[in-house]
Amino acid sequence: MSIPNPNLADSSAEDLRPCDPAIYREVMGTFATGVTVMTLGRADGFRLGVTASSFNTVSLDPPLILWSLALKAPSLGEFRSHDLFGVSVLAASQKDIALQFARPAEDKFAGVQIVKGTHGLPLIAGALAHIECRTVARYLGGDHEIMLGQVLTLRRAHHAPLVFQNGAFQSLSGT
Ligand SMILES: Cc1cc2nc3c(=O)[nH]c(=O)nc-3n(C[C@H](O)[C@H](O)[C@H](O)COP(=O)(O)O)c2cc1C
């Protein structure tokens, strides 16, 4: 269902809709986000990655970030049993990587260049930022689990960001 009013400046109280799933998805889709790949890795070669746009900063002191993963996601059990995780903030050129880590596959890392973090976490080469975190709290949030991560190490590059809005990858004008 689409929301007809193109200009909220002209809106009236009657335009406000009860929250049904279709309206909820459409309205929340207006909020533009970056795109990350959340990764786990171990010395024995185990590694896992999930595309997530639910990433955000929470606190400066201590430095905390959050993200959420669907309770039905097959990778949730691994994120519950590993405290350390990596965040790769994707660059505009990494749309294919975002799609690759959003689909189930035998090896989601196939063809993806990786760099190892200080804590041994696999991080996506060419990303806009790399962050290594330790999960310090997990909360149930409806049909998702919210993970709060303390930032351990981080670095940035200077590429244009990959942006997700209205259910699609977008580019920022001027970048
Ligand atoms: C741009 C984008 C953002 C996404 N953000 C999230 C997210 O924040 N949380 C989530 O649970 N799934 C998100 N997904 C869907 C997951 O990436 C997808 O369900 C993935 O298959 C989960 O990995 P798994 O199957 O290995 O558990 C997103 C997908 C895309 C394309």
Write out the chain's pLDDT in tens, 175 residues: 555 566 776 777 778 999 999 999 999 999 999 999 999 999 999 999 999 999 999 999 999 999 999 999 999 999 999 999 999 999 999 999 999 999 999 999 999 999 999 999 999 999 999 999 999 999 999 999 999 999 999 999 999 999 999 999 997 865 4
Domain ranges of the chain: 35-117+126-164
* pLDDT at 84 (0 to 100): 98
- Among 33, 40, 51, 89, which is best to mutate for testing ligand 1, by the most ligand atoms less than 8 A from CB? 51
Which residues have CB under 6 Å of ligand 1? 35, 50-54, 68-70, 73-75, 98, 102-104, 164
- For tokens 């689990």, what's the residue? 145
Closest of 175, 172, 150, 147 to residue 33, by C-alpha: 172
Q: How far is the CA of 70 from the centre of ligand 1 (A)?
A: 8
pLDDT of the residue at 14:
76
Note the maximum CA span of the chain.
59
CATH architecture of 35-117+126-164: Roll (2.30)
Phi then psi for residue 125, to 5 deg, are: -65, 145
pLDDT for position 35:
98
**CA 12 – ligand 1 centroid, Å:** 35
